[in-house]
Structure formats: structure tokens, C-alpha cells
A and B are shown apart, each in its own frame.
Chain A
Amino acid sequence: MPLIVGMSVLLGCQFIGELLVRALSLPVPGPVMGMVVLLVALMVNGRVPSALRTAGEGLLRYLTLLFVPAGVGIMSHFGLIGEDLGILAVTLVVSTGLTLAVTAKVLDVLAKRRWGGGDS
């Protein structure tokens, strides 16, 4: 039964998330809003019910499997990718490098300033 209860909570939050996104016409995916809903609910509740943890962590353990079906869809876009292959390669490498460098530098400086070397 815990799996059913946990799944119901997750799907229920997703449902509320979808409703909120539609009702307030937010530019955010429904499941992301559902995640915010669940986070708020957990804060109010103060702990993660074990049924929810069973279902949630089970899903997250196989998260990588879940995006395989969508990833296979790339076969429908081989033409588009082929045309922009160079652009994609340069953009991905340069931008990922920049993101890593900026994030690491900012957090390192801020953490050192606050705690003289972070808290680890």
C-alpha cells in the first residue's frame, strides 16, 4: 500500500500544480509547480511520510530511465541537428565551461567571505 499512497500524493501535487499553472497562467511547467506545492506541504508537515519517501525515492532512483523515451525522439530531428551541428557543439562546450567557472567562483568567494573557508 505505501507505493499507492505515495504515488497518489505525487500525482495529487502534480495535479494541483497543473491547476495553479492554468489558473494563474504561469510560464512554468505543471510538474515544477507541483514540486513547489509538495515542498511547501513538507515544510508545513515537518517531515517526509515514509510512504511518500518510498514512492518518491523509487522514482528518483530510476530517473535516468524515464527520459529515454523522449531522448529517442531525437531521431526525428536528425535533419535539424545536422544543419546546426557546429553551433550546437561550440555552444554546449563554451557555455557549460563558462557556467561552471562563474558558479564555482561566485560561491567560493561568498562562502569564504562568510565562514572563512566554508562549512565543510
Chain B
Amino acid sequence: MNLTGLDQLWVYLSGNPLVSLLATLVAFYLATHLHRLAGHSTFAHPVLVAIALLIGFLLLTGIDYASYFEGAQFIHFLLGPATVALAIPLFDHRERVRRMLVPILVACLAGIVTAVSSTLGIALLMGAQPEVLLSLAPRSVTSPIAMGIAEQIGGIPSLAAALVLLTGSIGCTLGPWIFRWLRIEDPSVKGFTMGLAAHGFGTAYCFASVGAMAGAFAGLAMGLTGMLTAFVLPAIVALFGV
């Protein structure tokens, strides 16, 4: 095949969903391995690495984001049913929730209000732009829900997704240090806190480093926080007059 032939083939392929889909899966696979090589560091989380790899790939090949997304939207679409599926772990923990209903609800609301108002407050004081501010607001909620919320209140969903991932990494780094400082020993408290503040990252961290009990509570907190934030956040944003 001569050079023009290759060129034409590439033009055909790069406009085809196949390349984006394949690149996304391969990048994720490579990222998972890199994460293991990096000793499971939270800053080398597979999602962050996969995103970095894909951005590098797109910049190198000159494919723009819109054409990439045309293919990748098939993966993206599954976020909807995955969000719905979060009801399953929530249902599995219903007994535990019923027993600790009041403390859990109070702590969950306190955490959400702290997360949203400190985020908006600090960013407002420092003069963030409105779109950035609205994308920051849902940052402690698991990505699929955060993206839905950001879109709903006028932020940028993809920026929100990236900020959520960074929040997860930061939460996993700060968490153990803060628990030591506040002398928190109860694993269910640790788990719930990590799940609330650092969503899926916190949950994975708890299963790996604290224990199954903490992991279950983290998963519970993640689902509950996502659901409550979706209802509470628009009100808080309106209160700040953004």
C-alpha cells in the first residue's frame, strides 16, 4: 500500500467509532497495569492514567474530542444505567441503614453541606469563573451523578468529572491523616466518611486498606450522598446566588 492509500485508510478509520472505542479500552487496560506497577498509588488511579493516555493519543493523532466522543459515547451511555444500578448496593445495606438511620442521615447532610458550601465559598472568595464554580460544586459525588448535577445547574460535565476524580485522590491521601488527628477508630465511621468525601476512590481505598465493614459503609455513603446531593445541591447553589 502506498502513502496516499494509508492516508485514506487513516481518514476513514479516525472518523469511525471503532478507533475511539478500541483506544478507550486499551488505554484503560494499560492504565490498570500501570496502577499496579505504581504500587496502587491513589494518584496513579487507572481512570486518571487512562484519561492522560487518551489525551496524549488524541493530541498525537490530531483527532479532536468531538470525533473521539462520537465513538466513545457508547461507553459513556452506560453511565445512566450504572447510576440506576447504585440502588442495588444501597438496598443490600438497608438493614444497617435502618439501625443507624438518624446518625447516618445527620452526618450525610452535614458532610454534603460542608462539601458544597466550603467549595463554593472558597472558590467564590478566590474569584473562580462561574462555569468553573458550578462544575466544582458537585465534586464530592460519584462521577455519573456529579456530571448529571453539573449539567443540570449549568456547569461543564467533563470538567466536573475530572474534578470529582481529583477529589477522590486527594480524599484518599488526606483521609488517614485526618482520622489520626481526630482519633477516629471506628471502621464504620472511617468508611462512611471516605465514601462521602471521596466516593468510589474512598470506597476502593476502604475495601483495600481498612476492611470489609468500612468498605460496605463507604459504598453506602457514596450512594446516599449522590442521591441526597442531587436533591440538596440546587438549593445551596441558589442560596449562594451563583
Inter-chain contact A29/B151, CB cutoff 8 Å:
yes
- Asked, given contacts A29-B151, A95-B122, whether A67 binds B143 with beta carbons under 8 Å apart, the answer is yes
Q: Which of B69, B83, B99, B189 contacts A104 (CB 8 A)?
A: B189
* B167 engages A92 (CB within 8 Å): yes
- Asked whether B91 is an interface residue with its Cβ less than 8 Å from the other chain, the reply is yes
Given B46, B139, B193, which contacts A100 in the complex, CB threshold below 8 Å? B193
Which range holds the interface residue count of chain B? 35 or more
- Contact across chains for B129 and A80 when beta carbons are under 8 A apart: yes
Q: Give the residues in chain A near B175, CB-CB below 8 Å.
A: 100
Enumerate chain A residues within 8 angstroms of B103, measured Cβ to Cβ. Answer: 107, 110-111, 114
CB distance B88 to A31 under 8 Å? no
Interface residues of A in 56-87 (CB under 8 A from B): 56-57, 59-60, 63-77, 80-81, 83-84, 86-87
Instruction: Judge whether B84 and A29 touch: CB under 8 Å.
Output: no
With A86-B126, A99-B111 as given contacts, are A31 and B84 in contact (CB-CB < 8 Å)?
yes
Closest to B162 in A: A74
B189-211 interface code vs A (CB 8 A; 1 in, 0 out): 11011101110100000000000
Residue of B nearest to A111 (CB): B103
Chain A residue nearest in CB terms to B150: A29
Residue of B nearest to A31 (CB): B83
Cα A39 to Cα B94 with chains together (Å): 10
Number of residues in A with C-beta < 8 Å to the partner? 76
Task: Tell whether, in the assembled complex, residue B114 and residue A99 are in contact, meaning their CB atoms are under 8 Å apart.
Answer: yes
Q: Is B110 an interface residue (CB 8 A)?
A: yes
Question: Which residue from B102, B190, B196 sits with its C-beta under 8 Å from A110?
Answer: B102
Interface string of A109-120 (1 = CB under 8 A from B): 011001001111
How many residue pairs bridge A and B at CB < 8 Å? Answer: 321
Contact B65 A106 (CB under 8 A): no
Complex: chain A residue closest to B238, CB-CB: A27
A90 on the B face (CB < 8 A): yes
Could you say which residues of chain A place their CB within 8 Å of the CB of B192? Answer: 103, 107
Tell which of A39, A97, A98, A100 touches B87, judged by Cβ atoms closer than 8 Å.
A39
* Cβ-based interface call for B75 (8 A): yes
Closest CB in chain A relative to B35 CB, distance in Å: 10
A59 to B152, CA, bound (A): 24
Interface: A5 (CB within 8 A): no
- Chain A residues with CB under 8 Å of chain B are 7, 10-11, 13-14, 17, 27-32, 34-39, 42-43, 48, 52-53, 55-57, 59-60, 63-77, 80-81, 83-84, 86-88, 90-108, 110-111, 114, 117-120
Nearest first, the 8 A-B pairs at minimum CB distance are A29-B148, A73-B158, A69-B72, A56-B85, A103-B111, A110-B103, A107-B107, A31-B83
